[in-house]
């Protein structure tokens, strides 16, 4: 399988992070979230977080304005403008030279969205805490409820975009020529249930790789070699840059993009609107079943 190789590991082990804190200035960001209870992640952060970790909210900080269903609807968690997210990054104290580590409590999907968006902004010095907050606690480290002091910076300066995206129209024209990967749970992919969007099913031609398939039993990512084998089987002859990732609303798809980077496969594209945007347009085709 042809692929673009990336040698940089986008993950950091909890023990390594713990050893580095105090020696290096690191911006820590906690993106924990619950789609069924949008306030749950922030409540959990208030009850205990890594020392110095700021809270980042999926809907306030990592999403743009959500339009009502109809023409122009771009999904449940549309990307903000790059200018808006540049201002958000600056508000969290992130500049081009800053080291950033992101995390969550749900196995990494929300941290992966934040990782992807910082890379999309052009920031390369960002890592995901492998195993999240549970892995931090497993080292014997503790959480704090103390205040977090931040020195805001100006908006992140414009840089070349490094994480490609695809629109719904572009994707519809490309069906059959790209490997389309859906990160949702199998029952949602098949269309057995649909708890969040108005139509059940999946985009024709897509393959299902639930984001949790990227994790080992301990909640950390599988080894690079295992992920490389699994994605080689999934992608077949398609190169990584001919792969499009989607999910319900462009969040958990970032977990598969992160896993591909761990595997040394760079260049996959994100369909940000994902199923929530696609299924809202009755003119777009829908498939059901396995």
Domain count, the chain: 2
Instruction: Let me know: does 148 contact 53? Beta carbons within 8 Å.
Output: yes
Q: How many CB atoms lie within 10 A of CB 80?
A: 17
Domain final position from 123, 138, 153: 138
What are the backbone dihedrals phi and psi of residue 214, each rounded to the nearest 5 degrees, phi first?
-80, -10
Q: Does residue 195 fall inside a structural domain?
A: yes
Q: If DSSP codes are grouped into helix, strand and coil, which group holds residue 179?
A: strand
Q: Are residues 77 and 188 in the same domain?
A: no
Share of the chain above pLDDT 70, in %: 96
What are the tens digits of pLDDT across the range 158-205? 998 789 999 999 999 999 899 999 999 999 999 999 999 989 999 999
- Are 112 and 253 in contact by the 8 Å Cβ rule? The answer is no
Q: What pLDDT, in 10s, does the model give residues 193-228?
A: 999 998 999 999 999 999 999 999 999 999 999 999
Whether 144 maps to a domain, the answer reads no
Q: Residue 79 CB: number of other CB atoms within 10 A? A: 21
Residue 285 resides in a domain: no
Non-local CB neighbours of 278 within 8 Å, separated by 6+ positions: 168, 171, 203, 246, 271, 284
244 and 172 part of one domain: yes
pLDDT at site 162: 84
Of 171, 168, 169, 207, the closest CA to residue 189 belongs to 207
244 forms beta bridges with: 180, 269
Strand (E) positions, 109-261? 126-129, 179-182, 206-208, 243-246
27/132 same-domain check = yes
- At 72, the pLDDT band (50, 70, 90 cuts) reads low
C-beta of residue 96 within 8 angstroms of C-beta of residue 162:
no
Q: Are residues 20 and 126 in the same domain?
A: yes
Provide the pLDDT for residue 71: 59
For residue 178, the enclosing domain spans 168-278
Q: Is the pLDDT of residue 132 over 50?
A: yes
Q: Which of 94, 247, 259, 262 is labelled catalytic?
A: 247
Whether residues 126 and 215 share a domain: the answer is: no
Q: Is 64 exposed, middle or buried (0-12, 13-18, 19+ CB in 10 A)?
A: middle
CATH for 172: 3.40.250.10
Instruction: In whole angstroms, give the CA distance from residue 185 to residue 210.
Output: 5
Please write the tens of the pLDDT for every residue from 6-62.
458 999 999 999 999 988 899 999 999 999 999 999 999 999 999 999 999 999 999
Q: Kindly report the backbone phi and psi dihedral angles of residue 243, in degrees, each rounded to the nearest multiple of 5, phi listed first.
A: -110, 135
Same domain? 16 vs 113 = yes
Q: pTM of the prediction?
A: 0.95
pLDDT in tens, 23-36: 889 999 999 999 99
Rounded CA separation 184/190 (Å): 10
When pLDDT is cut at 50, 70 and 90, the band that residue 73 belongs to is confident
Residue 231 lies in a domain: yes
When pLDDT is averaged across residues 76-103 and rounded to a whole number, the result is 97
Residue 183 lies in a domain: yes
236: left (phi over 0), alpha (psi -120 to 50) or beta: left
254 labelled catalytic: no
For residue 156, is it within any domain?
A: no
End-to-end CA distance of the chain, in Å?
25
Same domain, 127 and 16: yes
In a domain, 106, yes or no: yes
């Amino acid at each position: 399988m042809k692929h673009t190789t990336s040698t940089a590991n986008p993950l950091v082990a909890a023990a390594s992070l713990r050893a580095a804190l105090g020696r290096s200035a690191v911006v820590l960001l906690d993106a924990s979230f619950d789609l069924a209870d949008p306030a749950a992640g922030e409540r959990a952060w208030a009850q205990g977080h890594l020392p110095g970790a700021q809270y980042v909210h999926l809907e306030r900080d990592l999403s743009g304005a959500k339009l009502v269903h109809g023409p122009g609807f771009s999904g449940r968690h549309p990307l903000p403008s790059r200018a808006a997210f540049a201002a958000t990054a600056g508000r969290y104290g992130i500049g081009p030279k800053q080291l950033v580590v992101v995390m969550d409590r749900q196995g990494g999907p929300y941290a992966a969205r934040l990782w992807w968006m910082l890379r999309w902004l052009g920031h390369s010095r960002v890592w995901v805490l492998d195993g999240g907050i549970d892995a931090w606690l497993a080292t014997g480290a503790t959480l704090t409820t103390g205040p977090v002091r931040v020195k805001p910076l100006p908006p992140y300066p414009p840089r070349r975009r490094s994480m490609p995206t695809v629109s719904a129209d572009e994707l519809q024209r490309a069906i059959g020529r790209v490997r389309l990967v859906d990160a949702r749970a199998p029952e949602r992919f098949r269309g057995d249930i649909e708890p969040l969007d108005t139509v059940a099913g999946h985009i024709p031609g897509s393959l299902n790789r639930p984001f949790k398939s990227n994790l080992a039993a301990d909640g950390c990512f599988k080894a690079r070699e295992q992920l490389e084998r699994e994605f080689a089987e999934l992608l077949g002859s398609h190169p990584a840059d001919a792969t499009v990732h989607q999910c319900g609303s462009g969040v958990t798809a970032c977990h598969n993009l992160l896993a591909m980077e761990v595997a040394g496969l760079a260049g996959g594209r994100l369909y940000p609107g994902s199923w929530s945007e696609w299924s809202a347009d009755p003119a777009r085709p829908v498939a059901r079943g396995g």
